[in-house]
Structure 1
């Protein structure tokens, strides 16, 4: 992924995490329950982000292979035409 894409995904994930934590902290509940909610939601968020990143990498890899195949096909067509 490009550097800008990584920055955007990181900022998005941080914003979601901070918003979720603030929402939990300001909700009326016992401290023990709040800490458990934060831990549970942090794990879910982490898993979700990792899944999204893996999916993005797979899509980019597929696009890269597709582009490479098309470039090779175009190269072969040009070579045949030039012959």
Structure 2
């Protein structure tokens, strides 16, 4: 959820910045367009980098969750085998 808010915050800030830049631009249109293009490309690069970092973090977290799930499964399986062995021992006492 926070990543989503950050993404939309960046997009909104970029749009507002571009609009303000156009409104108060003291230079010719050609120069202003070049500056806006350069800034937009820079923001796009920053956004792509942020998204890649988010993807890496999500992949890492998913790997950790999977590893913890495997450990939990193994522990549960061991406990189930222990209970099964105890039950067999108790059954054998009465046979």
TM (normalized to structure 1)? 0.81
TM (normalized to structure 2)? 0.72
Picking from 66, 70, 80, the partner of 1:82 is 80
Q: Which residue in the other structure is 1:56 paired with?
A: 54
Give 1:77 shift.
Answer: 0.8
Higher-Rg structure is 2
Give 1:37 shift.
Answer: 0.7
Picking from 42, 45, 57, the partner of 2:43 is 45
Deviations 1:54-80 (A, max 9, x none): 110110111001000000001101111
Give 1:5 shift.
Answer: 6.6
The answer to whether the 8 A contact 1:17-1:45 is kept is yes
Structure 1 residue runs of 4 or more that deviate by more than 4 Å after TM superposition: 4-7
Name whichever of 43-52 and 23-32 sits farther off.
Answer: 23-32
- Larger RCO (CA within 8 A; separation ≥ 6): 1
Equivalent-residue separation in structure 2 for 1:29 and 1:54 (angstroms): 35
